[in-house]
Structure 1
Amino acid sequence: MIKTDELRGIIAKNNLSQAKVAEEIGITPKTFYEKMNKGVFGSDEIEVMIHLLKIENPVDIFFAKE
């Protein structure tokens, strides 16, 4: 399960919009919002976000246990 609140914070810290992140990972903003609500992204999308957002500890965000 993805910690979407933390991911939103990291996106904001990088001065990006969720729409811009969606564009960078190759999906529409609508699809991005749906994936955020479900807390599910594909591994290729996660990889792009890790690099784009300079996430140092991706396991803590993308592979969090409830």
Structure 2
Amino acid sequence: MILVNELKGKIKSKGYTQEKLARELGISPKTLCTKLNKGIFGSDEIENMIRILEIQNPIEIFFA
């Protein structure tokens, strides 16, 4: 289960908007919004978000 509010907080704290993060991930902002609302991401997307957002403890957000 992904802690979506924690992920959204991390996006904001790193100075990203959902639109900017979507571009970095190679998906549309609408797709990112849908994935955030459903809490469902592929392993590639999770790995990229960990790298892009420099998440130190990904287990706390992505595998709670």
**TM norm structure 2:** 0.96
Shift of 1:37: 0.4
CA distance in structure 1 between the partners assigned to 2:28 and 2:63 by the alignment: 23
Superposition pairs for residues 1-66 of structure 1, below 5 Å? 1-64=1-64
CA distance in structure 1 between the partners assigned to 2:45 and 2:21 by the alignment: 10
Q: Which 5+ residue runs of structure 2 have no aligned equivalent?
A: none
CA distance in structure 2 between the partners assigned to 1:22 and 1:4 by the alignment: 15
Runs (4+) of structure 1 moved beyond 4 Å? none
CA distance in structure 2 between the partners assigned to 1:58 and 1:17 by the alignment: 19
Q: Which 5+ residue runs of structure 1 have no aligned equivalent?
A: none
